[in-house]
Amino acid sequence: MRLQGRVAIVTGGAKGIGWGITQLFAKAGSHIVLIGRSEDAIRQAERHLRDDGIKALACVGDVSKSSDVRQMVAAALQQFGQIDILVNNAGVNPNRGRSVLDTEEADWDAIMAVNLRGMLLCTKAVLPIMKKQRRGHIINMCSIGGKVIRDGKNSAYRTSKFGVRGFTWSLAKDVRDDNISVSAILPGTTQSAMNPNETGDSSSWLSPNDIGEAALFLATREPNVIIPEMIVAPRSSIGGPTCPYC
Ligand SMILES: NC(=O)c1ccc[n+]([C@@H]2O[C@H](COP(=O)([O-])OP(=O)(O)OC[C@H]3O[C@@H](n4cnc5c(N)ncnc54)[C@H](OP(=O)(O)O)[C@@H]3O)[C@@H](O)[C@H]2O)c1
């Protein structure tokens, strides 16, 4: 098994894309640490994993709060003694569809708090451990919307995802001598609760499992191989408004 005995933190790992990643990492032999705000979802995911014989630790918490993140990492270290993989997956988009002019301050702050500050807090909490181990993988969930903007919608969310790429590249340079690999995944439209009103045929979108496969690929590379960004898009997007080739 490709992640046998490894310890992976998946933020937002109990739902949607995060759950797709969690399941594939668990199947590959990883012990799993989850954090999310919804206690029901977190406990259900933990039960599911444990029923399958997976060592799992689920923490109810908010990645934008440093105390919650510190508690989660301390509990993970206490239970498993190491942290090999961090998937910064938790994300929100409360102002779906809004242009810059229509963006409310509260939505802007909520998006930046989770999508960027949460990423910073989780990364800062695990980095000393990974540096000491002299190994680690950090995978940041971005979006195709963090690379190409073709209309005036989702402006705060897309701004945060451009920020995820900047953060990923900065971090990669910070840890270049520490044997820690840093990557971003840029998914196209994926079936999850984040897309309740998206138009089009959802059966042609990506599944959380597709993004899980991408994360598993990144987490199983040797650290001398650098993959800064991985775009994962549904075939149906070619030629459309979110075409990754355009
Ligand atoms: N779906 C897409 O089309 C798509 C495309 C590109 C990129 N993405 C990115 O993929 C990631 C996962 O999104 P998804 O599509 O799976 O959406 P989702 O189903 O809404 O899942 C979001 C996850 O993040 C967690 N989360 C949100 N705020 C949190 C916080 N403050 N602290 C801890 N956990 C938090 C949620 O758990 P709780 O609600 O329990 O906290 C949930 O597990 C996000 O970064 C998103 O931007 C999604």
Rounded to an integer, the average pLDDT of 29-35 is: 98
Burial 15-24 (b: 16+ CB within 10 A, else e): bbbbbbbbbb
Number of Cβ within 10 Å of residue 172's Cβ equals 17
Banded model confidence at residue 201, pLDDT cuts 50, 70, 90? confident
Question: Which helix H or strand E contains 16, and what residues bound it?
Answer: helix 16-27
Q: How far is the CA of 30 from the centre of ligand 1 (A)?
A: 21
Which residue in 77, 25, 76 sits closest to 54, CA to CA? 25
Is the distance from the beta carbon of residue 119 to the nearest atom of ligand 1 less than 6 Å?
no
| Amino acid making up residue 28 | A
Task: Report yes or no: 68 and 59 within 8 Å, Cβ to Cβ.
Answer: yes
Residues linked to residue 60 through DSSP beta bridges, in sequence order: 36
Q: How far is the CA of 177 from the centre of ligand 1 (A)?
A: 31
Banded model confidence at residue 162, pLDDT cuts 50, 70, 90? very high
Q: Would you state the pLDDT for residue 159?
A: 97
Residues in the chain: 246
Is the distance from the beta carbon of residue 234 to the nearest atom of ligand 1 less than 6 Å?
no
Residues 10-28: pLDDT tens digits?
Answer: 999 999 999 999 999 999 9
Cα atoms in the Cβ-side hemisphere of radius 13 Å centred on 114:
22
Task: Report yes or no: 98 and 199 within 8 Å, Cβ to Cβ.
Answer: no
Q: Would you state the pLDDT for residue 114?
A: 98
Percentage of the chain beyond pLDDT 70 is: 98
Task: Return the residue whose CA atom lies nearest to atom 36 of ligand 1.
Answer: 12
Domains of the chain: 7-237 (3.40.50.720)
Rounded to an integer, the average pLDDT of 206-215 is: 98
H-type alpha helices, 81-207: 105-112, 118-133, 155-174
Residues 69-101: pLDDT tens digits?
Answer: 999 999 999 999 999 999 999 999 997 889 999
Conformational region of residue 109, where left means phi above 0, alpha means psi within -120 to 50, and beta covers everything else: alpha
What is the set of active-site residues?
A: 157
Q: How far is the CA of 150 from the centre of ligand 1 (A)?
A: 22
Q: Would you state the pLDDT for residue 102?
A: 96
Model-level pTM? Answer: 0.98
Which residue in 122, 115, 58 sits closest to 91, CA to CA? 115
Percentage of the chain beyond pLDDT 90 is: 87
Q: How far apart are CA 239 and CA 209, in angstroms?
A: 24
Q: How far apart are CA 225 and CA 124, in angstroms?
A: 23
Banded model confidence at residue 3, pLDDT cuts 50, 70, 90? very high
pLDDT exceeds 80 at position 41: yes
Is the distance from the beta carbon of residue 202 to the nearest atom of ligand 1 less than 6 Å?
no
| Amino acid making up residue 211 | I
- At residue 187, φ and ψ (nearest 5 deg) are -80, 150
Rounded to an integer, the average pLDDT of 141-153 is: 93
